[in-house]
Structure 1
């Protein structure tokens, strides 16, 4: 059997998606009426008002915008606020759109009707998944022009914006996959929604706080002891770097700090105990890990949808 050429795969993927009846039906239903446009408008208004408020507060302070350093500080502040608000939006909108994708069909007693059709379990799962993901990405795309003001003010490079958008898009992909998996695993939408939101809270707030507490406690506990061996120092350094790279806020902050310190986009070199350690940039680890996790969760969701109902 002859496989299609590499250049033909994007067209085949697009054809497969937009010929998925579940995806077409879900997208048309969601975009029909004024609800979707109202949500988009409210989303942009909240972001725009927050950025305008920050700009107004700082402009009324003693900061002088004739100084390039003040403008760059303002640009970084607006950029950081915008990325944080976008991350909150992605983290809590994605579970809302996919945590009831399969479980709601069970509660409405329409899941068995879908299973007896010619529609494959893979098409059902992917249709539900991409229907939620498309709307989250639409929210993200419509907010891209808001990155213009901090870029114009200075202090923000184009690669910083691209990396931030890539991390946000990866977060949307992974949180939607988590919601779909939990919706396929549990028959009750309430249970799936609670667990999906708990995962989002844990990744954005719980794990970073626990990491800070562990570092603080260990630093205070071992401050008076003998210095660890070089092997343990290197091991702990790489473990800490991995922990930073696996949570959305820490990965963004770690990447931003590395760029501010003059490190490259792809690698970071940090001196430690007379040697130079080379680390992969946090955003690369984050994107790679969560894309693989998303593929695994979507595959598991397909298997759960295809299983025989007892």
Structure 2
């Protein structure tokens, strides 16, 4: 395990990624979006006056919106960092050279993934001073803060694994980017669309059969794997209760989310490792 995590591929990728202007500009874009939003939020709720008051309830609202916004930014930027990891090496004709080294397939894939995850974690850490404003006004517990960042980490690792897998299976970076962003659209929007469709069908069935209690596990599954729904239900117990009542299932949605994305991560990495040397006679 130590040889897989600490390997020359990871060290090389970290040096190259953190020294490029692209990484710097991406970090600046991320922080600029957060700064603009927080500044605008404070100005609106204080009525554009330096003497205005900011209530703890409004601070919690700002924390909630920032959490959803940050999850959206993570899902938007993670594919850009991982979708071209292997396909770019193939286009530059350096993949064959990399495969002839003593590095195993697992070391190459994990090294590429961890370098991207490290940069995304840096982005999350860079945004911590903005979150400190929330603690200044109160209304948010440290446990909520830790929980948000834990699920950010689970989500970005899963998205990074999907990007690495697609990059390994495809020969062109542009195709890999489109496929990875398509997967993000499915997880972020299509699953929510399926939830509303299933909920509408469930309500129609209940209207025709008044004595039937709501029970729709498939509909609940679509809502449970949606990152936005997870963040909202973690922040608002009322929304969580409404979700469970609408489908008739009281099983915690965060457990389904965690199991699903851990399985996706393991499956994606396994496929990427196995397919990296698919055309070679020996597989390291």
- TM-score normalized with structure 1 length: 0.80
Name the residue aligned to 1:28.
15
Aligned to 1:293: 264
Q: 2: CA distance between counterparts of 1:302 and 1:271?
A: 42
The residue aligned with 2:116 is: 132
Structure 1 equivalent of residue 234 of structure 2: 255
Number of residue pairs matched by the alignment: 279
How far 1:251 sits from its partner (Å)?
A: 1.2
Bigger relative CO (Cα 8 Å, ≥ 6 apart): 2
In structure 1, what is the equivalent of residue 102 of structure 2? 118
Alignment of 1:306 with 2:274, yes or no, is no
- Shift in alpha-carbon separation, 1:206–1:86, aligned structure 2, 3 A: same
Whole-Å Cα distance in 2 between the matches of residues 277 and 88 of structure 1?
A: 27
| Offset at residue 181 of structure 1 (A) | 0.5
Q: CA deviation at 1:155?
A: 2.7
1:82 corresponds in structure 2 to 66
**Tell me, what secondary structure is at the counterpart of 1:222?**
helix
Instruction: Give structure 1 stretches of 5+ with no counterpart.
Output: 1-11
* Cα shift at 1:140: 1.1
Indicate the RMSD between aligned Cα atoms, in angstroms. 2.9
Task: Compute the displacement of 1:146 (Å).
Answer: 1.9
Query: Offset of 1:23 from its aligned partner?
Result: 0.9
Larger radius of gyration: 1
Pick which of 170-179 and 140-149 moved more. 140-149
Structure 1 residue 227: Cα displacement = 2.4
Instruction: Give the equivalent residue in structure 2 for 1:4.
Output: none
**C-alpha distance 218-257 of structure 1, shift in aligned 2 (>3 A):** same
TM-score by length of 2: 0.86
Q: CA deviation at 1:49?
A: 2.0
CA shift at 1:108, angstroms? 1.3
SS, match of residue 55 in structure 2 = helix
Q: How does 1:52-201 map to 2 (within 5 A)?
A: 52-60=39-47, 71-201=55-185
Contact 2:191-2:223 within 8 A present in 1 as well: no
